[in-house]
Structure 1
Amino acid sequence: MEKLRILVINNYGQTCHLIHRALRDLGMDVKLVPNTIQVEEVLKMEPDGLVFSGGPTMERTGNGMNLVKMDLPILGICLGHQLMALAYGGETRTGKYGGFARVDVEVIDEDDILRGMAPTTKVWASHQDEVSKLPPGFKLLARSSICEIEAMRHASKPLYGVQWHPEVSHTEKGIDLLKNFLEVCSRA
């Protein structure tokens, strides 16, 4: 795979540096940037894709609502997934199960991002908050017994969100998910 430039948008999640490292270990040109960065600054860096990290709270997503609407391939992880849902007209809520735990996820549509993961996969996720309603134009990719929207994607744009953390070793096939996203970036 060609070397791509990927920006990791830091939402102050505890695994943000693991996302950076996982992408770097896959041979990518990766830069960790604050979520307060402006769209113009991102465009000057000419990234091939953006990854929005998890984080503690929607109030600390900085300029995320503008950044997540950029015309680039985007992967939202945990809080990044929720941010994408809100930015495009979906809804979020406090989950019934807070804290990190192993979750069995049912893959409904492998699509580009979940290719090779059906019919189920075990992931590491926090459900302190979660997407409760898909945004218009998005489709459901995965669900679990505790969360109906574990993964989603836009029907025509390269926008993907997952509730779980593919960057941690506790997630089965997490690196495969990141590789699948990089393939999307290489085709965009």
Structure 2
Amino acid sequence: METLLVIDNYDSFTFNLVQMFMRYDLAIEVRRSDRISLDDVAALDPQYILISPGPRDPAHAGISRELIRAFCDRVPILGVCLGMQCMNEVFGGATVRAPVPRHGKTSQIIHDGAGVFKGVPSPFTAARYHSLMVRTAGNTLVETARSDDGVIMGLSHPEFPLHGVQFHPESFLTKHGRRIIENFLKLGSFHGPFTHG
């Protein structure tokens, strides 16, 4: 059985994300971002890693950035909200305060149809809960999605199985969230069953 390691950045949405993944035949390990080491991660030998949202900024996300740096070339990693901001900073990008905070608001998301967005209509409706945002994509990262107000909503790496989304796929306000999660799982060795083929 494949293992999903969830790095929890002390966010109330973390276990909603975990519930989404509980639909699949995975062993799920949840660890607080400041209570796990790289050696612990290596010992768990996860086949997938999820970096959760969080109430603070990437500098206060525990091991998140260090873990992305150490494992992104060999383990599929999905960063959600703060998790995507951490991913971007690892590759030299900057996190800034959003002009307008978005908490429980929906936007239309326009995307490239690849990676975690494969088979997802463009645009689609997604829920946003953030006061910070990615200013520009970090070195070598590819911008994969933007909101209808121009904020970067998705990033990926062209060579590594590394994807990030600024919106919340687990929210009931987000359409096609389950397909996005399944597309992430398809990056690795998990073979289903899947809801969306």
Calculate the TM-score normalised by the size of structure 2.
0.89
Unaligned stretches of 5+ residues in structure 1: none
% identity of equivalent residues: 26
1:98-140 per-residue CA deviation (whole Å, 9 max, x = no partner) reads 1221111111x11121111132110011231111110111111
Q: Distance in 2 between matches of 1:133 and 1:178?
A: 24
**Paired position in structure 1 for 2:86:** 83
Aligned to 2:50: 51
SS in 2 for 1:124: strand
Task: State the distance in 2 between where 1:147 and 1:32 align.
Answer: 33
**AA in 1 matched with 2:151:** E
Conserved? CA contact 1:97–1:127, under 8 Å: no
State how many pairs are aligned.
184
What is residue 60 of structure 2 aligned with on the other side? Answer: 60
Q: Supply the distance in 1 between the matched residues of 2:185 and 2:93 (Cα, whole angstroms).
A: 25
State how far apart, in whole Å, the 1-side matches of 2:189 and 2:109 are. Answer: 27
Gaps of 5+ in 2: 191-197
> 5 Å matches for 1:3-82?
3-36=1-34, 37-58=36-57, 59-69=59-69, 70=71, 71-82=74-85
Helix, strand or coil at the partner of 1:151: strand
Calculate the aligned-residue CA RMSD, in Å: 1.4
Aligned pair 1:171/2:169, yes or no? no
- SS of the equivalent of 1:150 reads strand
SS in 2 for 1:143: strand
Identify the range of structure 1 (147-156 vs 77-86) with the bigger mean alpha-carbon deviation. Answer: 147-156
- 1:68 to 1:157, Cα distance in 2 relative to 1, 3 A: same
Is 2:105 the partner of 1:101? yes
Give the drift of 1:144. Answer: 1.3
Does residue 127 in structure 1 map to residue 125 in structure 2?
no
State the shift of 1:181 in Å. Answer: 0.4
Query: Do the aligned residues in 1 keep the contact of 2:133 with 2:151 (CA within 8 Å)?
Result: no
Write the distance in 2 (CA, Å) between the matches of 1:26 and 1:176: 13
Q: 2: CA distance between counterparts of 1:147 and 1:74?
A: 25
Structure 1 residue matching 2:182: 3-state secondary structure: helix
- Counterpart CA distance in 2 for 1:110 and 1:72 is 22
Whole-angstrom CA distance in 2 between matches of 1:24 and 1:50: 14
CA contact (8 A) 1:92 1:129 kept: yes
SS at match of 1:180: helix
* TM score, norm. by length of structure 1: 0.93
In the TM superposition, residue 25 of structure 1 has moved relative to its aligned partner by: 1.7
**1:8-59 CA distance string (max 9 Å, x none):** 1001111000111110122221111111211110111110010011000024
**What is the identity, as a one-letter code, of the residue corresponding to 1:47?**
P
